[in-house]
A = this chain, B = another copy of it.
Amino acid sequence: MIGLRGDTWLYIGLGCGLASIAAALGYYRWVVRQDAGSDKAQEIASWIKGGASTYLKKLYSALFGVAIVVGIILAIVFSGGVAGDASYPLRGLWTALAFAFGALCSTLAGYLGMSIAVQANVRTAANCKASLGQGFNVAYKAGAVMGLAMVGVAVFGMSLLYLIFHDTEIVLGFSFGASSLALLAKAGGGIYTKTADIAADLTGKVEIGIPEDDPRNPAVIADNVGDNVGDVAGMGADIFDSYVAAAVASMMLGASYASTIGVQYVILPLILCILGIVSSLIGIQFVRVGPNGKPGRALNSGTIISCIIFSAMGAILFGVANAVSGEVVLNWGVLIATVAGLVIGVIIGFTTDYFTNDEHAPVQQVAKVSASGTGLNIITGFSYGLVSMVPALIGIVAAILVAYFATQAFGLPGVYGIGISAVGMLSLTGVIVSNDAYGPIVDNAKGIAEMSHMSEDVIADADKLDSAGNTAKAITKGFSISAAALTVLAMYSAYSEVIMKYSGASNFILDIQDPLVLGGIFLGTFVPPLFSAITMLAVTRNAFTMIEEIRRQVKERPGILQGTELPDYNACVGIASTGALRSLVLPAFLAVILPLIVGFVMGPKALGGFLGGSIFIGVALALLMSNAGGLWDNAKKYIEAGNLGGPGSEAHKAAVVGDTVGDPFKDTAGPSINTLITVMSLVSSLFAPLIAQFHLFG
């Protein structure tokens, strides 16, 4: 049995989580000890670091307040246990604490990643002076800090809570805490980064006529801070939340079937996470770039190697467990579901790359039509964005069907397989996030290299590192959206199980033809679009405020443009921070309160439909926005690389507009949608016991 039915693996989880955190801290120490370059470069980096701290301080104090309020609500609502399940006198308190712990873990992982990112950027630039490989190494190790810290904290947290309570519904509180924080961090970061980006571009390049990343622009530091808060802290929090939610949903499904299929399936998701951590730790060692090496290939090789190691370890685990115990304790169908999830995730990641990489037709086509006008650039890019949904959606369907029917064919409930395939897809989060966090670090490194006037060679090297980062980012997005889709589907089944448990019904059917389900679906379909619109409109509104501040500074203090006086960077950082946080109120309402209103008024079936509707449209919209955004960005870069007339041509002007449109698509709205649907699913599952017992209709 190799401890599958006891607490052994939970202790291993604690240890493995701590080991991963230790490895992250080790890399952290290594990175900060690297050469930080010239005084000028360090000064610029210190501004970025300062700006990032300002934002994080504001964000976390606001979130701290929110967490306390939500925690108190949870503690009260669930106090004395739910009616019919009064076994826990302190259930409310434990749920609240688990929520706070989840929020804290998510914060910690994001903070650590951000903190290393703002130190690694200048060091990457400085080390590019020595060699491309050395620069790469610094950036990648810094990325690995984020990746390893995240999975370490997540596995440690889940193992600890389950070890204490042996109740998956408490672990659900942890997941809800992590996801709520992730949603706010991601959406807030997304609004922040594009506010600063658009304001800096529109005033700098257009009005004042100074180049991008020029230190005379008061918004330039806010812009660089934005890359970190949006991409590093935001994306990190995003995958953290899917990772935890996938494991928790599968654990809940395992728990609801435990009496018939065995308790080992409750902790199997955690075991798979542990294998994933080990595979990631090994895979990361293989990511190296020689003097003439290709950074993109190095990143991909890490993913592929980890993937192979993980699959092998999974097969060995299942084989050994079954051999030792002389019976099938770990169902082979589940292994198929796991590996199918992982492999399909990788395939989806790479097909996403097809639509956003300038080596293929879509980007080139968009660049080509740009010469005939901005309108065609937008229409064509948007159309390819729509087409880009197709492979990912087919992949998701393949994962659903393989996972379900493989698990069912081997005698286990198929829905458990869907949950496990999400866990499989996300098992290599350690590596995936490392690759992803690398992106904004090298992006910033390039900015610093330019701002501090480093040599041409260094800038060229930084540029090479940067373009590999874009591909890694595209792959991660395809990956994270698909994984979120499978995760919320598993969470969906978990929701049904909870409803059945507390309503006493023997089945819970969500028939599309049922008017309440159907009504719920149609209501659900407007949530992700409305959420996207609110965040994007917040960007344009906040950018306007910042533009006014920039104009004021430039007008009142002429020394700024002459380069004799430093602009007040903090004013812009402050506008972006405050604006982003204020803009989060409505999105948070949509994510948390609206599902509860639908549930308590229209009943559990309507809420089931509502979640379904938001998932169906959310996945499609997230794919569209992320891919179209990446495509526009790379079409611009393709022209800037000298194609179709190069910089300054009519094609370039059109492509710049396309990029401006794509920015909030891919960095504000698109990537938050995953987290939105995860939070909606989590809050529904968490409140399902109450909804099952009280609702007006349905």
Chain A interface, number of residues (Cβ within 8 angstroms) = 74
The A interface, classified by DSSP as helix, strand, loop or mixed, is helix
A627–chain B nearest beta-carbon distance, Å: 11
Known A-B contacts A383-B537, A521-B616, A660-B373; the reply to A389 vs B510 at CB < 8 A is: no
Q: Are A375 and B660 in contact (CB under 8 A)?
A: yes
Contacts of A328 in B (CB 8 A): none
Q: Are B515 and A405 in contact (CB under 8 A)?
A: yes
Known A-B contacts A372-B547, A414-B515, A540-B369; the reply to A532 vs B393 at CB < 8 A is: no
Q: Are B373 and A374 in contact (CB under 8 A)?
A: no
Q: Name A519-543 residues within 8 Å CB distance of B.
A: 519, 521-523, 525-526, 529-530, 532-533, 536-537, 539-540, 543
Q: Are B379 and A536 in contact (CB under 8 A)?
A: yes
Q: Are B657 and A374 in contact (CB under 8 A)?
A: yes
Stretch of A99-107, A165-173, A309-317, A606-614 lying at the B interface: A606-614
Q: Are A536 and B383 in contact (CB under 8 A)?
A: yes
- Specify the chain B residue showing the minimal Cβ separation from A374: B657
Q: Check: A193 CB closer than 8 A to any chain B CB.
A: no
Q: Check: A432 CB closer than 8 A to any chain B CB.
A: no
Contacts of A373 in B (CB 8 A): 202, 206, 657, 660
Q: Are B405 and A608 in contact (CB under 8 A)?
A: no
Q: Check: A220 CB closer than 8 A to any chain B CB.
A: no
Q: Are B387 and A533 in contact (CB under 8 A)?
A: yes
A505–chain B nearest beta-carbon distance, Å: 14
Known A-B contacts A378-B378, A380-B540, A657-B374; the reply to A530 vs B397 at CB < 8 A is: no
Q: Check: A210 CB closer than 8 A to any chain B CB.
A: no
Stretch of A41-49, A488-496, A572-580 lying at the B interface: A488-496
Bound complex: CA of A202 vs CA of B377, how far in Å?
13
Q: Check: A299 CB closer than 8 A to any chain B CB.
A: no
Q: Are B375 and A530 in contact (CB under 8 A)?
A: no
Q: Name A609-668 residues within 8 Å CB distance of B.
A: 609, 612-613, 616-617, 619-620, 624, 657, 660-661, 664
Contacts of A374 in B (CB 8 A): 374, 657, 660
Bound complex: CA of A554 vs CA of B543, how far in Å?
45
Bound complex: CA of A544 vs CA of B496, how far in Å?
53
Q: Check: A376 CB closer than 8 A to any chain B CB.
A: yes
Q: Are A512 and B522 in contact (CB under 8 A)?
A: no
A526-570 near B? 1/0 per residue, CB < 8 Å: 100110110011011001100100000000000000000000000
Q: Check: A164 CB closer than 8 A to any chain B CB.
A: no
Contacts of A620 in B (CB 8 A): 525-526, 529, 617
Q: Check: A384 CB closer than 8 A to any chain B CB.
A: yes
Q: Are A493 and B522 in contact (CB under 8 A)?
A: no
A390–chain B nearest beta-carbon distance, Å: 5
Q: Check: A305 CB closer than 8 A to any chain B CB.
A: no
Q: Are A530 and B202 in contact (CB under 8 A)?
A: no
Contacts of A664 in B (CB 8 A): 379
A500–chain B nearest beta-carbon distance, Å: 11
A residues near B (Cβ < 8 Å) are: 198, 202, 206, 369, 372-376, 378-380, 382-384, 386-387, 389-390, 393-394, 396-397, 400-401, 404-405, 414-415, 418, 485, 489, 492-493, 496, 509-513, 515-519, 521-523, 525-526, 529-530, 532-533, 536-537, 539-540, 543-544, 547, 608-609, 612-613, 616-617, 619-620, 624, 657, 660-661, 664
| Nearest 10 interchain pairs by C-beta | A375-B660, A386-B533, A404-B515, A383-B533, A386-B529, A397-B519, A510-B512, A383-B536, A374-B657, A378-B661
